[in-house]
Chains A and B, each alone.
Chain A
Amino acid sequence: MLRTLDTFAGRVIALSAILGTLGLIGEVVVILIDVAGRYFGSPLRGAQDLTQMGMVVLVFGGMALCDRQGGHIAVDLFERKMPDWMIRLTDLLAAATGALIFSGIAWQMWKSAAISRMLNLATNIIYLPKAWFQYYIVVCCIITAVGMLLRVVSLLMGGPIRRSEGHQS
Chain B
Amino acid sequence: MSELAIGIIGMASLFVLLGFRIPVAFSMFVVGFLGIAAMRGFNVAVNYLASEPFTLGASAELVVVPLFILMGNVATETGMSRRLYDAAYAIIGSVRGGLASATIIGCGGFAALSGSSVASALTMGRVSLGEMERFGYDNRLSTGSVAAGGTLGILIPPSTGFVIYAILTQESIGRLFLAGVLPGLLLLAMFVLTIILMCWIWPEMGPAGPRTTLTEKMRAMIGAVPILSVIVVTIGGIYTGIFSPTEASAVGAGLIIAIGLISRTLTLRVFWNAAKSSVTTTATVMLILIAAHMIIPFLALTHIPQQLGAFLSGLDVPPLVVLGLILFCYLILGCFLEGFAMLVLTMPIFFPVIQQLGLDPIWFGVLVVLTLEMGLISPPVGVNVFIVKSLVPHVTLGTIFRGVVPFWIAMMVTLGLLVAFPQIALYLPNTMIN
Contact = CB atoms under 8 A, between A and B. Distances in A.
Given A71-B284, A168-B118, A169-B339, A79 B54 contact: no
Interface string A132-150: 0110010000000000000
Interface string B352-382: 0000000000000000000010001000110
A21 B257 CA distance: 15
A169 B282 contact: no
Interface of B: 18-26, 29-30, 33, 46-47, 49-51, 53-54, 57-60, 62-63, 66-67, 70, 116-119, 154, 160-161, 243, 246-247, 249-251, 253-254, 257, 272, 275-276, 278-284, 286-288, 336-341, 372, 376, 380-381, 383, 386-387, 390
A32 interface: yes
A164 to B, nearest CB: 8
B59 A55 contact: yes
Given A32-B254, A112-B54, 15 more contacts: A24-B275, A24-B282, A35-B251, A52-B59, A52-B60, A55-B60, A73-B25, A75-B19, A75-B341, A79-B21, A90-B20, A105-B50, A107-B49, A134-B50, A134-B54
A98 interface: yes
Nearest to B20: A90
B119 to A, nearest CB: 8
Interface residues of A, number: 61
Contacts of B336: 75, 77
B287 A63 contact: yes
A23 B279 CA distance: 9
Interface in A94-110: 94, 97-98, 101, 104-105, 107-109
Contact of A74 (B23, B253, B380): B23
B53 A17 contact: no
Contacts of B33: 104
Given A75-B24, A101-B26, A166-B118, A66 B54 contact: no
A28 B253 contact: yes
B284 A75 contact: no
A59 interface: yes
Contacts of B25: 72-73
Helix, strand, loop or mixed for chain B's interface? helix
Given A24-B70, A166-B386, A77 B116 contact: no
B63 A55 contact: yes
A87 B49 CA distance: 29
B279 A73 contact: no
A153 to B, nearest CB: 18
Nearest to A82: B21
14 contacts: A28-B250, A28-B254, A31-B251, A51-B63, A55-B63, A59-B57, A65-B276, A73-B23, A74-B18, A75-B18, A90-B21, A94-B26, A97-B22, A168-B118
Nearest to A123: B58
B325 to A, nearest CB: 23
A79 B25 CA distance: 18
Interface in A28-77: 28, 31-32, 34-35, 48, 51-56, 58-63, 65-66, 69, 71-77
Contacts of A134: 50, 54
Given A61-B279, A71-B283, A169-B340, A35 B243 contact: yes
Nearest to B280: A66
A3 interface: no
B246 A51 contact: yes
A79 B380 CA distance: 12
